Amino acid sequence: MNNISKLFELARSARRNAYAPYSNFAVGVALLSQEGNFYKSCNVENISYPCGSCAETGAIATMVAGGDKQIAEILVLAEGSELITPCGACRQRIKEFSTPQTLIHLANAAGVQKTYTIAELLPLAFAEKELKK
């Protein structure tokens, strides 16, 4: 199984476990770290709505807990024919652990439909160099 197929299957299995009783919008994310490990997560909502977290947030936290620090590829999977892009906050979170080569795959039930780099999704991002000014 190639990396994209594996990421897709992992995102699909994570999405099945999504806890999204308020939006009814289940999201699954899987990522492959530069170190060669796979991680996955889903969105987890809360009755206090702002406490909910995106699937990307969970996947990144799981990667960091697993000891890895760089994303090689990340795949975001919504429901049915929906194709979603990571929210603004998650783009910033992805950026923290990305390189210019990191790939962000957007998938629907039929598979990956589009692939971007973080520079395409978050141009002019706030970065470490800004803090040093």
| Structure token digits, residue 79 | 């429901």
**Active-site residue identified among 35, 45, 56, 128:** 56
CB 132, min distance to ligand THU, A: 30
DSSP H helical ranges for 1-133 = 3-16, 55-65, 88-96, 118-121, 128-131
The contact set with ligand THU (CB under 6 A) reads: 20, 23, 25, 27, 43, 45, 52, 54-56, 76, 84, 86-87, 90
Give min distance, CB of 20 to ligand THU, in A: 5
Closer residue to ligand THU in complex, CB, 72/74: 74
Q: Specify whether 96 is catalytic.
A: no
Give buried/exposed letters for 77-87 (b at 16+ CB in 10 A, else e): bbbeeeeeebe
Catalytic residue numbers, as ranges: 56
